[in-house]
Amino acid sequence: MHQTNSIAELQHLVRTWRQAGENIALVPTMGNLHAGHINLVKRAQTLANRVIVSIFVNPTQFGPNEDYTNYPRTLTEDTEKLTKNSVDLLFTPECSTIYPPGASTQVSVHDLSEIHCGAARPGHFTGVTTIITKLFNIAQPDLAIFGEKDFQQLTIIRKMVHDLNIPVSIHSVPTLRESDGLAMSSRNSYLNSEDRTLAPILYQTLSEAKRQIEAGKSDFRKMELVYLQQLQQAGFQPEYFSVCRIDNLSIATITDKELVILTAVKLGKTRLIDNILVSLSDS
């Protein structure tokens, strides 16, 4: 595996691959890699001749009271995992490379970025779409792979690519879970033993809500309130629990058939997000 923090070196390799007729996949990450990330890499390898993984803890998607400084940085271990899984190129740019002095340009997807997680974390998704646009411009991949755990982020990136005519195909991979259902996340390492025991209740609650909808329950607003209360009683600090249309994440109505239930909570000092898809037949 080749590793570089140089844009010029990355682009030289990309040109070499393209001259050989190879296509390229990008897997953007912030490091502290777990099995879910490796799953993205494996998916990329089925779709492209060459796979680039980027590791960059992006400061512009963290709020002033969030965990940018303490976010886990495990480059040595990450490099070993990516080497073992035959990644072609690891891109680890410095912050000054991505955001040179005086940089002030941002990319923002309005409306979608201001609801759900965006309401609780103003500016977060603008940081995400700005860094993803930069990585697309730098690496010029044919396709990029994202996990479905952050479903709002995935939806925003898809819309950004569509709106700006960016020639990158976006592929998603279902959320990888621990044996007890907890969605794999770099932030799970923040959970103490008591909170880790409680954490699977989040996915259990989503699954129960899905079963209720599939059984015919259609008062989504009442359901949301009930499950918010249940999560609070279980020891979480819920931010939202929302039954949404899958296409634009707007609040779902009784006529909608393709749904996603989105939720975000705090458990101790750790913020957890998760979601579950619901597809209803017309019968």
> Active-site positions?
37
**Which residues does 3 contact at the CB level (< 8 Å), separation at least 6?**
79, 89, 90, 91, 92
What distance in Å separates the CA atoms of residue 200 and residue 203, rounded to the nearest whole number?
6
What distance in Å separates the CA atoms of residue 156 and residue 161, rounded to the nearest whole number?
9
As a dihedral over the C-alpha atoms of residue 156, residue 51, residue 275, residue 203, rounded to 10 degrees, the angle is -160
Burial 148-161 (b: 16+ CB within 10 A, else e): bbbbbbbbbbbbbb
Q: Which amino acid is residue 98, in one-letter code?
A: I
Residue 268 in 3-state DSSP? coil
What distance in Å separates the CA atoms of residue 27 and residue 157, rounded to the nearest whole number?
13
Which residues, in sequence order, are bridge partners of residue 171? 145
Q: Which amino acid is residue 54, in one-letter code?
A: S
Q: Which residue has the tokens 């458990």?
A: 267
What is the helix (H) or strand (E) element at residue 26, kind and residue range? Answer: strand 24-29
Residue 88 in 3-state DSSP? coil
What is the helix (H) or strand (E) element at residue 266, kind and residue range? Answer: strand 258-267
Q: Which amino acid is residue 190, in one-letter code?
A: Y
Phi, psi of 230 (to 5 degrees): -60, -45
C-alpha distances (whole Å) from 147 to each of 19, 37, 142, 170, 184 are 30, 8, 17, 11, 10
